[in-house]
Structure 1
Amino acid sequence: MSWHSKLFLAGLLAAGLLAAPALAFDFGRPAAPDEIKLWDIDVGPDGKGLPAGSGTAAQGKQIFADNCAACHGENGQGGIKDRLAGGQGTLASNMPVKTVGSFWPYATTLFDYIHRAMPYPTPGSLSTDETYAVTAYILSLNGIVPADGKVDKESLPKIRMPNRNGFVPDPEFDPAKLLHKK
């Protein structure tokens, strides 16, 4: 179970929503383990939850052109939606450019987001290998992996993003403190 799921369940327990077994609603049924597995698709910064598969930046270039460029522009810039490439070194300037390469702290987050939410308007329609390929391509556009680079569940968590240390956790949202709050 991912840390997201554990934190969610801990919140439900703390709120008392799971501590009321006497309530019966007389509809539905418990979810089967294989049904739960379909929804347990989040990926942590450490790579936990990444599926088997792989993709190269070269493969991702065509998949990006076919599925992503209409919104994000050719080469991840100039589209009607968020810019994905460039912006390195601008975060401390008066005109910061937040992109995958300049702002995102973990490469695994990029895979997770593409896998769950992209491409618009058919999220989740890319295969696992296609998602790895698009991830590799976007990382290559930002100079993070080479143009002939390959990513998979082993290599992706090891990628050091340029802004890896640019985030400071808010103590108010420390999971350890949330679990023990009364």
Structure 2
Amino acid sequence: MREALFRCKSTRVALAALLSLTALTSCSSVAPSARNAEANHDIGTPLTAQDLAAWNIDVAPDGRGLPAGSGDVATGAHIFAAKCAACHGAQGQGGLGDQLIGGQGTLTSAKPKRTVGSYWPYATTLFDYIRRAMPYTAPESLSADEVYALSAYLLNQNGVVPANTRLDAASLPRVVMPNRDGFVADPRPGRL
């Protein structure tokens, strides 16, 4: 009886090995691209150009990638009070979040203050950062108009642009930041 049971288990193991080998052989005889084309595992959804556009929101220092829209300093002040002051302080002096206003002339001191007006080299990267990361509790929730307005407000409060400024994709890249020349250029080809 014991010998018959052993043979039965051996037969099952041998059969399983044979079936596995057959499956591997049949899989390997089909080209990888054909296997992938035939397989439909119902996993995921093909991405559309519209899906990719939602993720392609980076803005380059020269302004490439800036969206349509515009915003002015006065509107930015209202948005800042409603959506930014809780973390950055009513006057941009800092709090839970970083100080955004002031700091000019401190970068070479023992306690530099890296703010929008003292440190950032490009106004376009300010736009990019606000658009992607702010407000902290709801990143990417601001419209393009709101981000342009916040950028105008912060630049105005740092003395970079006048109070009647309206920024858009054409004007924002032309803003010259006080510390634009305070950075070393990237020597690699194709870099700004």
1:150 aligns with 2:166: yes
The Cα shift of 1:166 comes to 1.0
Distance 1:135 1:170 in 2: 25
Q: In the aligned structure 1, how far is the partner of 2:190 from the partner of 2:62?
A: 18
Question: Any gaps of 5 or more consecutive residues in structure 1?
Answer: 1-20, 178-182
The 5 Å alignment of 1:25-44 reads 26=41, 27-44=43-60
Question: Partner of 2:27 in structure 1?
Answer: none
Aligned length: 155
Residue 95 of structure 1 deviates from its aligned partner by 1.5
Superposed CA offset, 1:105-155 (max 9, x none): 000011111111111201122111111101100001100011221111000
CA distance, structure 2, for counterparts of residue 105 and residue 99 of structure 1: 11
Q: Which has the higher helix share?
A: 2
Hey, what does 1:136 align to over in structure 2? 152
**1:62 has 2:78 as partner:** yes
Report percent identity of matched pairs. 59
Normalised by the length of structure 1, the TM-score is 0.78
Letter in 2 for 1:62: H
Question: Counterpart of 2:176 in structure 1: which amino acid?
Answer: R
* Aligned partner of 1:73 among 73, 85, 89: 89
Q: Quote the RMSD (CA, aligned, Å).
A: 2.1
| Alignment pair present for 1:51 and 2:67 | yes
From 155, 158, 175, the counterpart of 1:159: 175
Question: Do the aligned partners of 2:122 and 2:180 also contact (CA within 8 Å) in 1?
Answer: yes
Distance in 2 separating the partners of 1:29 and 1:74: 45
Runs of 4 or more off by more than 2 Å in structure 1? 21-30, 174-177
Q: Which has the higher contact order (CA 8 A, sep 6+)?
A: 1
Scaled by the length of structure 2, the TM-score of the pair is: 0.74
How much does 1:158 deviate? 0.5
